[in-house]
Structure 1
Amino acid sequence: MIYITLFLEFFKIGLFSIGGGLVSLPFLYDLVDKYGWITSQDLLDMIAIAESTPGPIGINAATFMGYKTAGILGGAIASLGMAAPSLIIIAIIVHYFMKFNENPLVRAGFDGIRPAVVGLIAAAGFQVAKISLFNFDLYKTTKDFSQLIDLKALVLFAVMLYGINRFKKHPIVYIAIAGFVGIIFKF
């Protein structure tokens, strides 16, 4: 039963994640809340790993969550569920695109999808910032406002943002630096 649930949940995510892996993040947060297969911290770690490894974020996330939930087969089924809608839709589009690519309604549909994609990416960015820069759970238990902001994370974010704008290096450089700093702070 878990395999069917994994496939169907990731099929839905793959079906409605138009615009790439970052768009799938709000759906993944919903899965964390709905099933508890992984924790929010696991999801945040998974996002960091998926961003720094080759391959689409959505597939990496599906593989990770499926593996954590139901082992190797779970990872494969979740990945298949995530990829299946795209494969089906692309096969249909390729078949009919040449007939309808100049149709004004088709063009208008694609124009309408763009703002929705931007909104989903912004929502995902907000969720990542909320978890990585702020300690809402700690604040709720202590009611101490000084515990709300994770100063180390905020300083690292500010330094990385400055470095990105000032030095214009390849993103992998900043990912490696942030990973190294994270390891140092952890130990």
Structure 2
Amino acid sequence: MIPQSGVTLSILSAVRAASAAFLFSAAYSLAKFNLTDWVTITVALVCFGLTAFSLVGAPTIIVARASWGLHSLRRNGGVSMLNVILAFLKIGFLGFGGGYAMLSLIFAESARFGLTVQQFADLNALDGLIPGPIAINSATYIGQMYGGFWTGVAATLAVCVPSLVFVPLYMHFEAKIKSNWVLTGILNGIKPAAVGLILGVALSLLLVTVFGVSNIHVWTHAHLDWVSLIVLVLVLGIDLKWHVNPLWLMLLAGVIGAVAYYI
């Protein structure tokens, strides 16, 4: 767990806001190219609505009829390594739409282990500060948190397995896949769903970072964090207009958070 006191808390809050801004920016970029008619817009809105109002509903849109249930396998009050491995195998196999779109599925599965929205926000903040893909960083972070070092290693390897299986198969059958109208249609349907999923996760991070509530159902308990709101709007604007390296924007957010603490 990341320390939550003093200047560290202020910096992390600002970095979390920057992470939410990147998600909104990614959703906007995907929407420009993939929301081209009323059908795709409807799919995106449905996925966004389910994610925003339940946090665990949106992944069902992506993995419907393909998902299998994971039983709660607990040992001595903790999470078993097998449970974590199965969860990240599922994420790897069914996490369509790219890294940002996978975040809602990552949260849904990790919530089974007790992951809170605040911890999920910390994960996203860290992901912007350290190298590596979102799925791998998430697997290492969550595996380490709930099972220790070796569970973190196992989760990291597990989330990589699907890519090692599917990428060679895709390369081998690439021509047939591209000429198959059914598969093409499925992939085209996933793209607008990914937009909705990313927007839903972005809203969740916005709520916990800017308004201090875990979901939209407890909106009456919200309290506005002006620094986080300013960081989010500033980073989003800079990213959309000038496409600055995210690392510099994360550092800018951290500096703003530190300065705000001492003002």
TM-score, normalization: structure 1?
0.82
Tell me how far 1:164 sits from its aligned partner: 4.1
- Larger proportion of helix: 1
AA in 1 matched with 2:169: I
Tell me how far 1:128 sits from its aligned partner: 1.4
Q: Which of 28, 44, 55 is matched with 2:106 structurally? A: 28
Identity of aligned residues (%): 27
The residue number in structure 1 matching 2:231 is 156
AA in 1 matched with 2:153: A
* Structure 1 CA distance for aligned equivalents of residues 200 and 94 of structure 2: 15
Larger CA deviation: 106-115 vs 155-164: 155-164
* Structure 2 CA distance for aligned equivalents of residues 82 and 89 of structure 1: 12
The residue number in structure 2 matching 1:116 is 193
The residue number in structure 2 matching 1:12 is 90
Q: Please state whether the residue corresponding to 2:182 is helix, strand or coil.
A: helix
AA in 2 matched with 1:110: L
Deviation string 1:72-110 (CA, Å, 9 cap, x unpaired) is 211111112212122222232233223343222232222
Q: Please state whether the residue corresponding to 1:136 is helix, strand or coil.
A: coil
The residue number in structure 1 matching 2:251 is 176
Residues 79 and 162 of structure 1, relative CA distance in 2, 3 Å threshold: same
Residues 136 and 88 of structure 1, relative CA distance in 2, 3 Å threshold: same
Asked if structure 1 preserves the Cα contact closer than 8 Å seen for 2:128 and 2:247, the reply is no
Residues 121 and 173 of structure 1, relative CA distance in 2, 3 Å threshold: same
Q: Which of 124, 147, 155 is matched with 1:70 structurally? A: 147
The residue number in structure 1 matching 2:35 is none
Query: How many residues in Structure 1 have an aligned counterpart in Structure 2?
Result: 182
* Structure 2 CA distance for aligned equivalents of residues 102 and 124 of structure 1: 33
Tell me how far 1:47 sits from its aligned partner: 0.6
5+ residue gaps, structure 2: 1-74
Residue 112 of structure 2 is aligned to residue 61 of structure 1 = no
Asked if structure 1 preserves the Cα contact closer than 8 Å seen for 2:128 and 2:246, the reply is no
Residue 121 of structure 2 is aligned to residue 41 of structure 1 = no
* Structure 2 CA distance for aligned equivalents of residues 57 and 157 of structure 1: 20
Deviation string 1:91-150 (CA, Å, 9 cap, x unpaired) is 32233223343222232222222112212111121111121111226xx99x66xx5222
5+ residue gaps, structure 1: none
The residue number in structure 2 matching 1:104 is 181
* Structure 1 CA distance for aligned equivalents of residues 123 and 159 of structure 2: 16
Asked if structure 2 preserves the Cα contact closer than 8 Å seen for 1:20 and 1:58, the reply is no
* Structure 2 CA distance for aligned equivalents of residues 13 and 84 of structure 1: 11
* Structure 2 CA distance for aligned equivalents of residues 69 and 168 of structure 1: 36
* Structure 1 CA distance for aligned equivalents of residues 225 and 244 of structure 2: 26
Aligned-residue CA RMSD (Å): 2.7
Tell me how far 1:68 sits from its aligned partner: 1.3
Tell me how far 1:178 sits from its aligned partner: 0.6
Residues 12 and 105 of structure 1, relative CA distance in 2, 3 Å threshold: same
* Structure 2 CA distance for aligned equivalents of residues 59 and 156 of structure 1: 27
* Structure 2 CA distance for aligned equivalents of residues 41 and 94 of structure 1: 39
Larger CA deviation: 11-20 vs 94-103: 94-103
* Structure 2 CA distance for aligned equivalents of residues 8 and 53 of structure 1: 25
Asked if structure 2 preserves the Cα contact closer than 8 Å seen for 1:32 and 1:40, the reply is no
